[in-house]
Structure 1
Amino acid sequence: MGGREDRRPEVEVGEARTRVLDDGEKADYFRRCYTSADGLWFMMVEEMWGFEEALEIDRQVWSVLPKIQARTLREILGAGKGIGGLAECIAAKHSAEGFGFEMEAEQGGRLRLTISRCPWQDLMARSGRAHLSDRVGSVICNAEYSAWAAEFSEVDRKISFLLRSRICGGDDVCTFSFEG
Protein backbone atom coordinates (compact mmCIF):
# COMPACT_ATOMS: atom_id res chain seq x y z
CA MET A 1 0.00 0.00 0.00
CA GLY A 2 2.50 2.59 -1.17
CA GLY A 3 4.98 1.92 1.65
CA ARG A 4 2.54 3.24 4.24
CA GLU A 5 2.50 1.33 7.48
CA ASP A 6 -0.78 -0.51 8.18
CA ARG A 7 -2.05 0.76 11.52
CA ARG A 8 -4.98 -1.58 11.96
CA PRO A 9 -5.03 -3.49 15.24
CA GLU A 10 -3.46 -6.90 15.41
CA VAL A 11 -4.47 -9.87 17.52
CA GLU A 12 -2.29 -12.66 18.79
CA VAL A 13 -3.24 -16.19 17.84
CA GLY A 14 -0.84 -18.55 19.57
CA GLU A 15 2.59 -17.38 18.47
CA ALA A 16 1.32 -15.64 15.35
CA ARG A 17 0.07 -12.07 14.98
CA THR A 18 -2.60 -11.18 12.46
CA ARG A 19 -4.31 -7.91 11.66
CA VAL A 20 -7.99 -7.27 12.33
CA LEU A 21 -10.36 -6.57 9.44
CA ASP A 22 -11.43 -2.95 9.04
CA ASP A 23 -15.13 -2.08 8.69
CA GLY A 24 -15.02 -2.09 4.88
CA GLU A 25 -13.37 -5.51 4.80
CA LYS A 26 -15.92 -6.84 7.30
CA ALA A 27 -18.77 -5.51 5.17
CA ASP A 28 -17.27 -7.12 2.06
CA TYR A 29 -16.77 -10.41 3.90
CA PHE A 30 -20.37 -10.54 5.16
CA ARG A 31 -21.79 -9.43 1.78
CA ARG A 32 -19.92 -12.25 0.05
CA CYS A 33 -21.05 -14.80 2.66
CA TYR A 34 -24.65 -13.57 2.37
CA THR A 35 -24.75 -13.91 -1.43
CA SER A 36 -22.91 -17.25 -1.34
CA ALA A 37 -25.30 -18.71 1.24
CA ASP A 38 -28.30 -17.57 -0.81
CA GLY A 39 -27.01 -19.22 -3.98
CA LEU A 40 -25.71 -22.39 -2.33
CA TRP A 41 -28.89 -23.29 -0.49
CA PHE A 42 -30.90 -22.67 -3.67
CA MET A 43 -28.68 -24.97 -5.72
CA MET A 44 -28.80 -27.70 -3.05
CA VAL A 45 -32.61 -27.60 -2.90
CA GLU A 46 -32.72 -27.53 -6.70
CA GLU A 47 -30.46 -30.60 -6.85
CA MET A 48 -32.67 -32.49 -4.39
CA TRP A 49 -36.16 -31.44 -5.47
CA GLY A 50 -35.89 -29.52 -8.75
CA PHE A 51 -35.86 -25.93 -9.91
CA GLU A 52 -39.54 -25.12 -9.36
CA GLU A 53 -39.50 -26.36 -5.76
CA ALA A 54 -36.30 -24.41 -5.05
CA LEU A 55 -37.85 -21.29 -6.58
CA GLU A 56 -41.00 -21.66 -4.46
CA ILE A 57 -38.96 -22.02 -1.26
CA ASP A 58 -36.83 -19.05 -2.34
CA ARG A 59 -40.02 -17.02 -2.87
CA GLN A 60 -41.12 -17.88 0.65
CA VAL A 61 -37.73 -16.87 2.07
CA TRP A 62 -37.79 -13.57 0.15
CA SER A 63 -41.31 -12.91 1.45
CA VAL A 64 -39.96 -12.91 5.03
CA LEU A 65 -36.32 -11.74 4.87
CA PRO A 66 -37.26 -8.20 3.71
CA LYS A 67 -39.34 -7.78 6.87
CA ILE A 68 -36.21 -8.46 8.93
CA GLN A 69 -34.09 -6.18 6.73
CA ALA A 70 -36.66 -3.38 6.86
CA ARG A 71 -37.12 -3.55 10.63
CA THR A 72 -33.36 -3.63 11.18
CA LEU A 73 -32.74 -0.64 8.91
CA ARG A 74 -35.67 1.29 10.39
CA GLU A 75 -34.15 0.81 13.84
CA ILE A 76 -30.60 1.69 12.75
CA LEU A 77 -31.69 4.77 10.77
CA GLY A 78 -34.51 5.86 13.07
CA ALA A 79 -36.82 5.86 10.04
CA GLY A 80 -40.59 5.86 10.21
CA LYS A 81 -43.20 4.08 8.18
CA GLY A 82 -44.75 5.38 4.97
CA ILE A 83 -43.13 6.25 1.65
CA GLY A 84 -40.47 8.44 3.31
CA GLY A 85 -39.27 5.66 5.60
CA LEU A 86 -39.37 3.17 2.74
CA ALA A 87 -37.25 5.46 0.56
CA GLU A 88 -34.67 5.99 3.29
CA CYS A 89 -34.34 2.30 4.16
CA ILE A 90 -34.46 0.90 0.65
CA ALA A 91 -31.72 3.34 -0.39
CA ALA A 92 -29.56 2.11 2.50
CA LYS A 93 -30.22 -1.53 1.54
CA HIS A 94 -29.36 -0.99 -2.12
CA SER A 95 -26.25 0.99 -1.28
CA ALA A 96 -25.03 -1.72 1.14
CA GLU A 97 -25.69 -4.50 -1.37
CA GLY A 98 -23.86 -2.77 -4.23
CA PHE A 99 -26.76 -1.89 -6.53
CA GLY A 100 -26.51 0.94 -9.05
CA PHE A 101 -29.77 2.82 -8.48
CA GLU A 102 -31.66 6.09 -8.39
CA MET A 103 -34.81 6.94 -6.48
CA GLU A 104 -37.28 9.63 -7.32
CA ALA A 105 -40.21 10.83 -5.26
CA GLU A 106 -43.17 11.48 -7.54
CA GLN A 107 -46.44 13.37 -7.08
CA GLY A 108 -49.14 11.80 -4.93
CA GLY A 109 -47.00 9.76 -2.54
CA ARG A 110 -45.26 7.67 -5.18
CA LEU A 111 -41.67 6.51 -5.27
CA ARG A 112 -39.84 5.22 -8.32
CA LEU A 113 -36.75 3.04 -7.89
CA THR A 114 -34.62 2.61 -11.01
CA ILE A 115 -31.88 -0.02 -10.86
CA SER A 116 -29.11 0.20 -13.45
CA ARG A 117 -26.92 -2.53 -11.96
CA CYS A 118 -28.16 -5.51 -10.02
CA PRO A 119 -25.54 -7.55 -8.14
CA TRP A 120 -27.91 -10.56 -8.08
CA GLN A 121 -28.24 -10.47 -11.88
CA ASP A 122 -24.46 -10.09 -12.17
CA LEU A 123 -23.98 -13.12 -9.91
CA MET A 124 -26.40 -15.22 -11.98
CA ALA A 125 -24.47 -14.31 -15.14
CA ARG A 126 -21.06 -15.05 -13.57
CA SER A 127 -22.27 -18.43 -12.32
CA GLY A 128 -23.51 -19.47 -15.78
CA ARG A 129 -27.18 -19.30 -14.75
CA ALA A 130 -28.24 -16.17 -16.67
CA HIS A 131 -30.77 -18.30 -18.58
CA LEU A 132 -32.68 -18.72 -15.27
CA SER A 133 -32.51 -15.10 -14.14
CA ASP A 134 -35.71 -13.97 -15.91
CA ARG A 135 -37.77 -16.62 -14.11
CA VAL A 136 -36.03 -16.09 -10.76
CA GLY A 137 -36.20 -12.30 -10.99
CA SER A 138 -39.89 -12.19 -11.87
CA VAL A 139 -40.77 -14.31 -8.82
CA ILE A 140 -38.25 -13.07 -6.27
CA CYS A 141 -38.39 -9.33 -7.00
CA ASN A 142 -42.18 -9.37 -6.74
CA ALA A 143 -42.00 -11.24 -3.42
CA GLU A 144 -39.18 -9.13 -2.00
CA TYR A 145 -40.41 -5.66 -2.92
CA SER A 146 -44.04 -6.44 -2.07
CA ALA A 147 -42.80 -7.38 1.41
CA TRP A 148 -40.89 -4.08 1.64
CA ALA A 149 -44.06 -2.19 0.65
CA ALA A 150 -46.14 -4.06 3.23
CA GLU A 151 -43.58 -3.47 5.98
CA PHE A 152 -43.71 0.31 5.49
CA SER A 153 -47.49 0.49 5.04
CA GLU A 154 -49.44 2.25 7.71
CA VAL A 155 -52.78 1.09 9.09
CA ASP A 156 -54.67 3.76 7.18
CA ARG A 157 -52.36 3.99 4.17
CA LYS A 158 -51.16 0.86 2.40
CA ILE A 159 -48.19 1.00 0.03
CA SER A 160 -48.57 -0.91 -3.23
CA PHE A 161 -45.72 -2.20 -5.38
CA LEU A 162 -45.55 -2.57 -9.16
CA LEU A 163 -42.64 -4.07 -11.08
CA ARG A 164 -42.53 -2.12 -14.37
CA SER A 165 -39.31 -3.36 -16.02
CA ARG A 166 -36.51 -5.82 -15.23
CA ILE A 167 -32.92 -6.13 -16.37
CA CYS A 168 -33.23 -9.92 -16.10
CA GLY A 169 -36.24 -9.72 -18.44
CA GLY A 170 -34.18 -8.00 -21.12
CA ASP A 171 -34.88 -4.36 -20.17
CA ASP A 172 -32.08 -1.81 -19.79
CA VAL A 173 -33.04 -1.10 -16.16
CA CYS A 174 -35.34 -2.39 -13.44
CA THR A 175 -38.11 0.08 -12.66
CA PHE A 176 -40.11 -0.42 -9.49
CA SER A 177 -42.98 1.82 -8.40
CA PHE A 178 -44.28 2.18 -4.86
CA GLU A 179 -47.45 4.12 -4.14
CA GLY A 180 -49.01 4.93 -0.83
Structure 2
Amino acid sequence: METGSDMVLEMLRRSYFAVDGLWFVLLEEDDGLERALALDERVWQVMPKIQARKARELLRIEERTPAALVRCMALKLAAEGHRYSVSSQNTQAAEIVISECPWRDVLLQSGRDQLGPAIADHICSTEAAVWANEFSPADGPPIVARMGESLCHGDGYCRVSFHVADED
Protein backbone atom coordinates (compact mmCIF):
# COMPACT_ATOMS: atom_id res chain seq x y z
CA MET A 1 0.00 0.00 0.00
CA GLU A 2 1.37 3.37 -1.00
CA THR A 3 1.46 6.11 1.61
CA GLY A 4 3.11 9.00 -0.21
CA SER A 5 3.81 12.29 1.51
CA ASP A 6 0.73 13.96 -0.04
CA MET A 7 -1.49 11.22 1.36
CA VAL A 8 0.14 11.46 4.78
CA LEU A 9 -0.21 15.25 4.76
CA GLU A 10 -3.88 15.02 3.82
CA MET A 11 -4.53 12.48 6.59
CA LEU A 12 -2.82 14.64 9.21
CA ARG A 13 -4.54 17.79 7.95
CA ARG A 14 -7.96 16.10 8.08
CA SER A 15 -7.32 14.82 11.60
CA TYR A 16 -6.11 18.27 12.73
CA PHE A 17 -9.29 19.97 11.52
CA ALA A 18 -11.53 17.18 12.83
CA VAL A 19 -10.15 17.23 16.36
CA ASP A 20 -10.38 21.02 16.48
CA GLY A 21 -14.01 20.98 15.39
CA LEU A 22 -14.98 18.00 17.50
CA TRP A 23 -13.81 19.33 20.85
CA PHE A 24 -15.37 22.72 20.03
CA VAL A 25 -18.78 21.22 19.19
CA LEU A 26 -18.76 18.95 22.25
CA LEU A 27 -17.84 21.82 24.57
CA GLU A 28 -20.48 24.01 22.92
CA GLU A 29 -23.11 21.30 23.54
CA ASP A 30 -22.13 21.04 27.22
CA ASP A 31 -21.33 24.65 28.14
CA GLY A 32 -22.60 26.90 25.34
CA LEU A 33 -21.12 28.85 22.47
CA GLU A 34 -19.57 31.64 24.55
CA ARG A 35 -17.66 29.17 26.71
CA ALA A 36 -16.47 27.23 23.65
CA LEU A 37 -15.25 30.43 21.97
CA ALA A 38 -13.51 31.58 25.15
CA LEU A 39 -11.66 28.28 25.53
CA ASP A 40 -10.82 28.20 21.81
CA GLU A 41 -9.32 31.67 22.17
CA ARG A 42 -7.17 30.41 25.07
CA VAL A 43 -5.96 27.53 22.91
CA TRP A 44 -5.02 29.98 20.15
CA GLN A 45 -3.08 32.08 22.64
CA VAL A 46 -0.69 29.11 22.94
CA MET A 47 -0.82 27.20 19.64
CA PRO A 48 0.74 30.00 17.53
CA LYS A 49 3.71 30.15 19.93
CA ILE A 50 4.36 26.47 19.25
CA GLN A 51 3.87 26.91 15.51
CA ALA A 52 6.01 30.05 15.25
CA ARG A 53 8.89 28.51 17.18
CA LYS A 54 8.81 25.31 15.11
CA ALA A 55 8.60 27.26 11.83
CA ARG A 56 11.61 29.39 12.84
CA GLU A 57 13.54 26.23 13.67
CA LEU A 58 12.61 24.41 10.44
CA LEU A 59 13.32 27.44 8.25
CA ARG A 60 16.41 28.40 10.28
CA ILE A 61 15.21 31.98 10.65
CA GLU A 62 16.82 34.02 13.39
CA GLU A 63 15.75 37.58 12.58
CA ARG A 64 12.76 39.13 14.27
CA THR A 65 11.17 41.19 11.52
CA PRO A 66 7.76 41.34 9.86
CA ALA A 67 9.29 39.75 6.74
CA ALA A 68 10.67 36.83 8.76
CA LEU A 69 7.31 36.48 10.50
CA VAL A 70 5.34 36.14 7.25
CA ARG A 71 7.88 33.67 5.83
CA CYS A 72 7.36 31.47 8.90
CA MET A 73 3.60 31.95 8.99
CA ALA A 74 3.48 30.95 5.31
CA LEU A 75 4.81 27.51 6.30
CA LYS A 76 1.92 27.11 8.75
CA LEU A 77 -0.61 28.32 6.18
CA ALA A 78 0.75 25.95 3.53
CA ALA A 79 0.61 23.03 5.96
CA GLU A 80 -3.05 23.78 6.70
CA GLY A 81 -3.96 24.14 3.01
CA HIS A 82 -4.59 27.88 2.70
CA ARG A 83 -4.20 29.75 -0.60
CA TYR A 84 -2.32 32.95 0.13
CA SER A 85 0.23 35.49 -1.01
CA VAL A 86 2.97 37.12 1.04
CA SER A 87 4.49 40.55 0.53
CA SER A 88 7.02 42.71 2.34
CA GLN A 89 6.70 46.41 1.64
CA ASN A 90 9.93 47.26 3.47
CA THR A 91 11.91 46.11 6.52
CA GLN A 92 9.22 47.50 8.82
CA ALA A 93 6.08 45.93 7.31
CA ALA A 94 4.76 42.78 5.65
CA GLU A 95 1.41 41.19 5.01
CA ILE A 96 -0.35 37.99 4.12
CA VAL A 97 -3.45 37.93 1.94
CA ILE A 98 -5.47 34.72 2.19
CA SER A 99 -7.79 33.93 -0.72
CA GLU A 100 -8.92 30.49 0.50
CA CYS A 101 -9.11 29.38 4.13
CA PRO A 102 -9.68 25.73 5.04
CA TRP A 103 -11.05 26.74 8.45
CA ARG A 104 -13.76 28.77 6.72
CA ASP A 105 -14.38 25.89 4.31
CA VAL A 106 -15.01 23.59 7.29
CA LEU A 107 -17.53 26.09 8.69
CA LEU A 108 -19.30 26.31 5.32
CA GLN A 109 -19.37 22.52 4.83
CA SER A 110 -20.80 21.98 8.31
CA GLY A 111 -23.44 24.70 7.92
CA ARG A 112 -21.88 26.75 10.73
CA ASP A 113 -20.66 29.71 8.71
CA GLN A 114 -22.61 32.05 11.01
CA LEU A 115 -19.75 31.48 13.50
CA GLY A 116 -17.22 32.88 11.03
CA PRO A 117 -17.31 36.52 12.13
CA ALA A 118 -16.87 35.62 15.83
CA ILE A 119 -14.02 33.27 14.98
CA ALA A 120 -12.34 35.91 12.81
CA ASP A 121 -12.71 38.55 15.52
CA HIS A 122 -11.57 36.38 18.42
CA ILE A 123 -9.46 33.51 17.11
CA CYS A 124 -7.79 34.85 13.97
CA SER A 125 -6.94 38.18 15.56
CA THR A 126 -5.54 36.42 18.64
CA GLU A 127 -3.46 34.11 16.46
CA ALA A 128 -2.00 37.03 14.49
CA ALA A 129 -1.19 38.96 17.67
CA VAL A 130 0.61 35.96 19.17
CA TRP A 131 2.68 35.48 16.00
CA ALA A 132 3.58 39.19 16.14
CA ASN A 133 4.61 38.87 19.77
CA GLU A 134 6.76 35.81 19.02
CA PHE A 135 8.71 37.79 16.40
CA SER A 136 8.97 41.04 18.36
CA PRO A 137 12.55 41.79 19.38
CA ALA A 138 13.26 41.86 23.10
CA ASP A 139 15.26 45.07 22.78
CA GLY A 140 13.21 47.14 20.36
CA PRO A 141 9.73 48.20 19.34
CA PRO A 142 7.24 45.35 19.04
CA ILE A 143 5.73 43.99 15.86
CA VAL A 144 2.01 44.75 15.72
CA ALA A 145 -0.62 42.67 13.91
CA ARG A 146 -3.62 44.20 12.20
CA MET A 147 -6.53 42.22 10.82
CA GLY A 148 -8.00 43.89 7.76
CA GLU A 149 -10.48 42.36 5.39
CA SER A 150 -11.92 38.97 6.30
CA LEU A 151 -13.49 36.15 4.31
CA CYS A 152 -15.70 35.38 7.30
CA HIS A 153 -17.01 38.96 7.26
CA GLY A 154 -17.95 38.67 3.58
CA ASP A 155 -14.81 40.13 2.01
CA GLY A 156 -13.11 38.38 -0.90
CA TYR A 157 -9.99 37.64 1.15
CA CYS A 158 -8.37 37.97 4.56
CA ARG A 159 -5.58 40.50 5.00
CA VAL A 160 -3.22 40.27 7.97
CA SER A 161 -0.66 43.07 8.19
CA PHE A 162 2.37 43.18 10.45
CA HIS A 163 4.44 46.28 11.13
CA VAL A 164 7.02 47.48 13.59
CA ALA A 165 5.38 49.85 16.07
CA ASP A 166 6.48 53.45 15.97
CA GLU A 167 8.87 54.37 18.74
CA ASP A 168 7.60 57.33 20.74
Which TM class, normalised by the smaller chain length?
Answer: over 0.9
Larger Rg: 1
Q: 1:111 aligns with which of 94, 118, 129?
A: 94
Alignment of 1:139 onto 2:143: no
Match in the other structure for 1:83: 66
State the one-letter code of the partner of 2:107. Answer: M
Match in the other structure for 1:9: none
- For structure 2, list consecutive stretches of 5 or more residues without a partner in the other structure: none
Q: 1:40 aligns with which of 11, 22, 41?
A: 22
Alignment of 1:176 onto 2:151: no
Counterparts of residues 20-99 of structure 1 (less than 5 Å): 20-80=2-62, 81-99=64-82
State the one-letter code of the partner of 1:173. Answer: Y
- For structure 1, list consecutive stretches of 5 or more residues without a partner in the other structure: 1-18
Q: 1:100 and 1:160 mapped to 2: Cα distance?
A: 23
Q: Which runs of 4+ in 1 moved over 4 A?
A: none
Identical aligned pairs, as a percentage?
Answer: 36
User: By how many angstroms is 1:108 displaced?
Assistant: 5.2
TM-score between both structures, scaled by the size of structure 2:
0.92
TM-score between both structures, scaled by the size of structure 1:
0.86
Match in the other structure for 2:111: 128
User: By how many angstroms is 1:24 displaced?
Assistant: 1.4
Alignment RMSD: 1.1
Say how many residue pairs are matched. Answer: 162
User: By how many angstroms is 1:133 displaced?
Assistant: 1.0
